[in-house]
Amino acid sequence: MRARILHLGPEVMVLDKPAGLPVSARGGESLEAWLPALRLGKKRDPQPAHRLDQDTAGCLVLGRTAPMLARINGLFADRRVAKTYWAVVRGGPAAEAGVIDAPLLKVSSAAKGWRMVVDAKGDPARTAWRVLGRGDGITLLEMAPETGRTHQLRVHCAHLGCPILGDAMYGGGAGQLHLLARAIALPLEPALRVEAPVPGHMRAAVARCGM
């Protein structure tokens, strides 16, 4: 995990979280088990300042001190953190850019378990997007969520008519989820912007889209 450190400062660390690794413990392996190895001279473990879905790869910010963790938590709460994602989707939108404004509601059933759906009774959710490239039957989207709802990008892509590759829950088919937390920018002093590399399972599809 140390080899996946993208940024290391006195108070902030940014990791390239691998796809398939949950941030919180759920009975199996998780990022929590690696935190002691990421102290790197500090007396306490670094702590994640936000969450990424288990199957999403890329930038994850950790606070290395309690004051900085609280500060970053505040930045996320105030929506002052700029998050950029890359998603390879099936098909693609007709337009080159746009904004998805579709509220999300959590629903569950005995047959399908829980999932998020677009519903007027749900929480507000907005995502700006633009096309970075198109391939044979797929498109690479850059997405900037203005809100941070559970499964927001996955549901919004499906709502746009082009689910993310590997997102079986929302129509993207089998395989690994092609969603990357590509970059993150925090208004600290000095300002911090970190970018994650494209993970191995996404490289072929990203290349097909000309990137």
**150 contacts: CB under 8 Å, gap ≥ 6:** 104, 106, 116
Residue with tokens 């990137």, as numbered in its chain:
211
According to DSSP, the β-strands at 179-186 and 192-195 are: antiparallel
* Enclosing H/E stretch for 203: helix 200-208
Residues carrying an active site annotation = 53
Largest distance between two CA atoms of the chain: 52
Residue ranges of E strands in 91-167: 97-101, 104-109, 113-118, 126-134, 138-145
